[in-house]
Amino acid sequence: MKLKLARTTISAKPKAIELDKLEEDLDKKSIFYFDKENSHKDLKALIEHFEEKTYSVYMREVKYGLNDDEYLYEVHIVK
């Protein structure tokens, strides 16, 4: 499964990351930011994937502007 990481600037395109690469990065960090272009279904599948592996996962929507479409997803994955 591919997910889109949050954009670094408003005009940039989001970079995609594979679920396997995300698992490898868990040794270095536990908080990930995903772009609003990800479907809610894919994010729920991400949460279920890590919960099956006995991780605790917390996801929330973070607004960074006043418009309704200015948000990203913050996901905490901890052992």
φ/ψ of 74, rounded to 5, equals -110, 125
Q: Give pLDDT tens digits for 1-28.
A: 999 999 998 889 999 999 999 999 999 9
What the block records as the tokens of 9 is 């600037």
Conformational region of residue 12, where left means phi above 0, alpha means psi within -120 to 50, and beta covers everything else: beta
**Model pLDDT, residue 36:** 94
CB 31 within 8 A of CB 76: yes
CB 66 within 8 A of CB 59: no
Instruction: Give residue 34's domain range.
Output: 2-78
Domain count, the chain: 1
Q: What is the mean pLDDT of residues 51-78?
A: 94
Q: Give pLDDT tens digits for 20-61.
A: 999 999 999 999 999 999 999 999 999 999 999 999 999 999
